[in-house]
Amino acid sequence: MNIVIDTLRFSDKLKEAGFAERQADGLTRALSEELLEQLATKADIKTLKDSLNARMDSISDRIDSLENRFNFLFALIGLLVVLELIPVVTPLFGG
């Protein structure tokens, strides 16, 4: 989205409202510079996007790690049950 400000028209409107030419031009310039400083550049957006992507990758890696740990834990519990090293608790499963 591009924001375009017609600074000449803005300055002319200030003059029509009673501002001196120097005041109107100075105010127009100051406002234009302030607005430009507030707008995000394409580089700003790319930096933010890259940062968000890196965070999402980190979260995805953590989820994968947790999933692997749970899978290992369930496999270990299953092995211990099969080897009868821990008893099966059937009341928990409705049995």
- 86 within 8 A of 77, measured Cβ to Cβ: yes
Q: What is the DSSP letter of 39?
A: S
Sign of the CA dihedral 7, 9, 12, 14? negative
* pLDDT at 87 (0 to 100): 76
User: pLDDT tens for residues 25-60?
Assistant: 999 999 888 888 888 888 999 999 999 999 999 999
- The pLDDT confidence band at residue 16, using thresholds 50, 70 and 90, is very high
Give backbone dihedrals phi and psi of 79, rounded to 5 degrees, phi first: -65, -45
Question: pTM for the full model?
Answer: 0.51
The pLDDT assigned to 2 comes to 58
Q: Which helix (H) or strand (E) holds 55?
A: helix 42-82
The span from the CA of 95 to the CA of 90, in Å, is: 5
What are the sequence ranges of the domains in the chain?
A: 1-39, 42-95
